Structure 1
Amino acid sequence: MQEKFKRETITALATTLNAQELKQVDFVLSIILTRYEITEKTTEIVAYRDGLPEEIKSFLVSKSIKGLTKASLAHYKRTLIHFSNNIGKDVKAITSNDIKLYLINYEHTHDVSKSTLDDKRRVLNSFFTWMVREDIIDKNPMLRIDPIKCDKRMREPLTDIELEQMRNAAVTLREKALLEILYSTGARVSEITALNRSDLDYNAGRVKVFGKGKKERYCFLNARAQLAVKKYLFSRLDKEEALFTAGKKPYNRLGKGTIEKEIGNIGIRADINRNVFPHLLRHTFATHMLAHGASIAEVQTLLGHESPATTQIYAKLDLHKLHAVHQRCII
């Protein structure tokens, strides 16, 4: 087991140390490990025997008060439970080295992407930053742990042709309404699931949505979206308040998974050779807004982003436009 531990440690450090430094680490480990008996610890998630640590409970309560969605809270809880169970010590006594070893071990045992690993880091950073702010600990062990670099893949928005293919492939009135409202508003799928009939204002051509942190904002409906939603609601036999419901009794509100599946199926029928999902329509909305002259600040407001930097990722310049500008300017 000592040899396995040494081998995995050397492998983990190989990306940051040169050959000479690795030899030195190997030599030092060989000496140190002769004095210890090492056994492999399980990485399976197990129930925290004494319940969640009080610090984690309080942290989750604070996040709930701040307005995090149930899905986000569940993600934070899962991450922190796994971390607590695998660290095996009081959260107030955890060091930077403990966290580094946890992240390295998690990456190797779960074969996850860098982006997934960095998501773990962000949750831990939020938790320990909160602990410092609440005077539970004096020093933040996350300060010595840098963000994990990962390749950022820019999703291509739907082309005009692909968007029309989607429209032609939408069969039911609900599919048509979902497609048009997602594209016209640029809203998150979680925001669409929460919409009620009363949130619609046909006279003003807008809909009231509640975004992250339960922040209220207005999104707008183009003529296609207004007509599609009106037709869908007129066809409904139920009197449920939810804007989108199941087609059969008890007419439950549509969930995130159902909407994602419905949009994905439209994409398959449209013969678009890539995955189509609600966030791709949000991406397409933002890209089209910016391409037709909307400012970053305007699109930021419509998308419900707190930071303009988040919106900036959609401001990718079109290569055809760049070529046209180049031809116009360079003789």
Structure 2
Amino acid sequence: MNVPEKIMNSIIMSMSTHLEPAALSILKDVLIKNLSHYTITECETLPATADDSNEYILKLFAATKATKLSAKTVSYYVDTIKRLLSVIHKPLIDITSIDISYFLNSLRNSNDSVSLNNLRRNISAFYTWMRKSHLIVENPCEAVEPYTEIEKPIDHLEPTEYEQLKSGCSSTRDRALIEFLRSTAMRVGEVGAVKISDINWNTGLISIYGKKSHAYRPVCLDTIALKYLTEYIIERKLHTTSTVPLFTIRHSDDVLSAGGIRESIKCIKQRSGLKRRVYPHLFRKTTATNIIKRGGSVHDAGEYLGHKDSSTAGKHYSFIGSEHTIDIFRRYVQSV
């Protein structure tokens, strides 16, 4: 990292508690424009300690990269790096692939391969950011081989299990919720943003914004889902043009949070007597599995779930309109 970059990062870190992410981005552009005209040299100072160096890097991450990530992702990355530093007592810039392997191997007795690979990915992502920030030349995690994972069958609900789950619904909201998740295959974190008026009650079409993909995509409600959602809206004495959240806390217009949805699904499962784990993301997996079982391709499943095509062709040379997603729904998702 050269001196102008150090100055820029120092200013951004100092202002991160005073400015919103958008303003910080503008400030960075202004600093880049102005500092690019000067050659700056640094006065020699005493070398920083490992603690100082690591604290600086974590603060820089929070001020620059973290503003572009979800709070959950930031916490996941930072917690992993702090765990690494609790075992490897070195400056982050001096940690090697051997150090990272030692850290991960020290956790093998209490973690499976999937968990270890998740930690490895977090560390690698952090070091990729460090490399792009010119803090290091190479990402040491790239030399650490992933652990071999045993492939398990994709978790999903069989038709008989879904039928049994329905018996656990004790309210119109319960039934409307599970039919909504089945039909739309939405992420639990996306559901809360849907308002009653967002739904085209004639066609069942909803346009939602995916926080992961940073793009709008269509999802659909079949006649079964629309039936139970309509009953739920009527029970609440609301009109289809209402701008209140689609799913709310009972006897309130406050949105049902992701945690509230998880708890509701857990209670439905317990009342149904179903002897397996049921969680909101399971409906998403089930819909994807059904698309493939009914003759769709893996690409069709990914398209309906809103997975981004990261290939060059997918991003720049092919356009798939909402009509294709709706066609996937009609052919492979909607209840027969």
Query: Take 2:234 and 2:70, find their aligned partners in 1: how far apart are those partners?
Result: 31
Deviation at 1:298, TM superposition (A): 2.3
Query: Take 2:263 and 2:85, find their aligned partners in 1: how far apart are those partners?
Result: 34
Query: Take 2:310 and 2:169, find their aligned partners in 1: how far apart are those partners?
Result: 33
The match for 1:234 is 234
CA deviation string 1:90-144 (max 9, x = no partner): 2111111221121122334xx1222111111000011111211222211211121
Calculate percent identity across the aligned residue pairs. Answer: 29
The match for 2:90 is 89
SS at match of 1:166: helix
Deviation at 1:307, TM superposition (A): 4.8
Q: Given the two structures, how large is their TM-score scaled by the length of structure 2?
A: 0.69
CA deviation string 1:132-170 (max 9, x = no partner): 122221121112101122223223422222222222331
Paired residue type of 1:301: E
Query: Take 1:116 and 1:241, find their aligned partners in 2: how far apart are those partners?
Result: 39
Over 3 Å counting, the alpha-carbon distance change for 1:236 and 1:301 in structure 2 is: same
Report the RMSD for the aligned CA atoms in angstroms: 2.7
1:161-310 equivalences under 5 Å are 161-211=160-210, 212-236=212-236, 241-249=244-252, 251-307=253-309
- 8 Å Cα contact 1:170-1:176 kept in structure 2: yes
CA deviation string 1:162-186 (max 9, x = no partner): 2222223312111111100100011
* Structure 1 portions without partners, runs of 5+: 1-47, 310-331
Query: Take 1:256 and 1:64, find their aligned partners in 2: how far apart are those partners?
Result: 22
The match for 1:153 is 152
The match for 2:105 is 104
Over 3 Å counting, the alpha-carbon distance change for 1:193 and 1:64 in structure 2 is: farther
Query: Take 2:53 and 2:199, find their aligned partners in 1: how far apart are those partners?
Result: 44
Query: Take 1:213 and 1:63, find their aligned partners in 2: how far apart are those partners?
Result: 17
The match for 1:121 is 120
SS at match of 2:167: helix
Deviation at 1:247, TM superposition (A): 0.8
Query: Take 2:74 and 2:200, find their aligned partners in 1: how far apart are those partners?
Result: 31
Paired residue type of 1:142: C
- 8 Å Cα contact 2:208-2:217 kept in structure 1: yes
Paired residue type of 1:215: A
Give the number of the structure with larger relative contact order, counting CA–CA contacts within 8 Å between residues 6 or more apart: 2
Deviation at 1:65, TM superposition (A): 4.8
- 8 Å Cα contact 1:182-1:278 kept in structure 2: yes
Query: Take 2:165 and 2:272, find their aligned partners in 1: how far apart are those partners?
Result: 5
SS at match of 1:217: strand
Paired residue type of 2:260: T
Query: Take 1:57 and 1:206, find their aligned partners in 2: how far apart are those partners?
Result: 43
Over 3 Å counting, the alpha-carbon distance change for 1:63 and 1:303 in structure 2 is: farther
1:35-114 equivalences under 5 Å are 53-60=55-62, 63-66=65-68, 68-108=69-109, 111-114=110-113
CA deviation string 1:2-44 (max 9, x = no partner): xxxxxxxxxxxxxxxxxxxxxxxxxxxxxxxxxxxxxxxxxxx
Deviation at 1:297, TM superposition (A): 2.3
Query: Take 2:175 and 2:53, find their aligned partners in 1: how far apart are those partners?
Result: 47
- 8 Å Cα contact 1:56-1:80 kept in structure 2: no
- 8 Å Cα contact 1:206-1:221 kept in structure 2: yes
Deviation at 1:63, TM superposition (A): 4.7
Q: Given the two structures, how large is their TM-score scaled by the length of structure 1?
A: 0.70
- 8 Å Cα contact 1:296-1:308 kept in structure 2: no
* Structure 2 portions without partners, runs of 5+: 1-49, 312-336
Paired residue type of 1:286: A
- 8 Å Cα contact 2:156-2:285 kept in structure 1: yes
Query: Take 1:256 and 1:148, find their aligned partners in 2: how far apart are those partners?
Result: 32
